[in-house]
Amino acid sequence: MYRVGHREIGAIAEVILSGELFRYHAGGECEAFEKHWAEYLGVRHVRMTSSGTTAITAALAALKIGPGDEVLVPACTYMASAVSVLAVGAIPVVVDVDESITLSPEALEEKIGPNTRAVMPVHIWGLVCDMDRLMEIARRRNILVVEDACQCVGGGYKGRMCGSIGDAGAFSFNYYKVMTCGEGGAVVTNSDEVDRRAGCMIDCCSFYWSGRSDDFIPFTGNGSRASEIEGAMMSAQLGRLPAMLASMRAQKARILAETARTGLTAAPSHSLEWEIGAHVLYNFHTAAQAESFAELVGGGIVGKTGRHIYTEWDPIFAHQGGHVPAMNPYNFPQNEPCRKDYTKDMCAKSIDLCNRTVMIATHPDRPESETTALIERIRDAAEVVL
């Protein structure tokens, strides 16, 4: 967790003492957070969910993605991105990332096939994708865009907030995110229809509490609604977010500026002033250089982050997309034309890039003296490694 304290304790205590822990009531905490998060993002609709995974799943379902459809996902993202595709009965197809460690526009253009219905740009580790190029390709090739902003809460791209650029977006509020309620998430969109379908996917019984509509027949979906405790905590967390992001962005900018003449190659940033600044990345010529540098500085190798690399998505490689064979999208006849063959070297370029890229975390509460010491370690390590 980044920052949690008495502000959150007080907000949660009020909910408990009120006895109103169920989200459907006048003046509810979930509704209040959804309103404020929508204003922050500049979108029309926000729906809280139980996790980032269920938020992505709701976004895909809301866009009517299902059996017979392929969704393109990057080679470097948490496994939940691909799992969510399977959750709606579609097939994930893995696409290379580039030096920015985000989805490669060139690879996207090449990978679009006759069954491709959507692409999922992932703003991984607070880094933002090249959304101008990705959106141009998607619109020209007539595919939908679902932004996975689960790891970029509060980040933006050239003045627009991540999650608000595509047809729908998704966020995670779990323990590791800059804004958290332990678990939780949200799906966002500017479309009334997409919002209504997302709400049904999150809670198909919601119309009992919010009222039926003559022009919409609810469909069944697994429940993933949030509680009032989560809503209250998220509102408290939202008040902390701007100052935290300002601190991390400034910290990253300082590190990059003061290591610019070391010979190190910073990973490309598509919107440095708008991303959340959670990590500083350096690309190296070889994996051996990256490993030595990471050890000296105290950073991590992108390619060694477990389920964030496609080669570690065991259920995907095993084609175990459902709890029983009849519910496994890999067995659906509609998905027969889809690309379902995965190999560990199918995105060899991504594996190479990730294995020779080092990431160093920032933190909003890191003292300037510690940042100074980190910069000195980076400079010293550069002299040794390069």
Q: Does the pLDDT at position 210 exceed 90?
A: no
Residue 213: is its pLDDT beyond 80? no
pLDDT computed for residue 308 by the predictor: 97
pLDDT over threshold 90, residue 331: yes
| Residue 89 amino acid letter | G
Judged against a pLDDT cut of 90, whether residue 168 lies above it is answered with yes
* Rounded mean pLDDT, 361-386: 98
**% the chain with pLDDT above 70:** 99
Q: Are strands 116-119 and 70-74 parallel, antiparallel or unpaired?
A: parallel
pTM: 0.96
Q: Which residues does 24 contact at the CB level (< 8 Å), separation at least 6? A: 206, 209, 210
Quick one: average pLDDT of 311-322?
97
Task: State how beta strands 265-266 and 279-283 pair.
Answer: antiparallel
pLDDT value at 65 more than 80: yes
Tell me the average pLDDT across 39-62. Answer: 98
Enumerate the H helices of the chain as residue ranges.
6-18, 29-41, 52-62, 80-87, 105-111, 131-140, 192-202, 207-210, 228-258, 287-297, 314-317, 348-355, 368-385
pLDDT, averaged across the chain? 96
Asked if the model's pLDDT at residue 207 lies above 80, the reply is no
Does position 296 have pLDDT exceeding 90, yes or no? yes
- Whether residue 158 contacts residue 271, with contact meaning beta carbons closer than 8 Å, is answered with yes
- The Cα 27–Cα 363 span in angstroms is 34
Model confidence pLDDT, tens digit, residues 67-122: 999 999 999 999 999 999 999 999 999 999 999 999 999 999 999 999 999 999 99
In 3D, which of 301, 304, 287 has the Cα closest to residue 385? 287
The alpha carbon dihedral of 308, 310, 311, 317 has a sign of positive
Mention every residue, 6+ apart, whose C-beta is less than 8 A from residue 120: 56, 71, 72, 73, 74, 77, 81, 85, 145, 146, 147, 148
Local confidence band at 306 (pLDDT 50, 70, 90 cut-offs): very high
**344 exposed, middle or buried (CB, 10 Å; 0-12, 13-18, 19+)?**
exposed
- What pLDDT, on the 0 to 100 scale, is given for residue 174? 97
Please tell me the CATH code under which domain 6-237 is placed.
3.40.640.10
pLDDT at 43 over 80: yes
Q: Is residue 217 pLDDT above 90, yes or no?
A: no
Across the range 36-55, mean pLDDT stands at: 98
Q: Coil, strand, or helix at residue 94?
A: strand
Q: Is the pLDDT of residue 361 over 80?
A: yes
Over residues 241-294, the pLDDT tens digits come to 999 999 999 999 999 999 999 999 999 999 999 999 999 999 999 999 999 999
* Rounded-to-integer distance, Cα 179 and Cα 49, Å: 14
What is the structure's pLDDT at 257? 98
Residue 218's pLDDT is 83
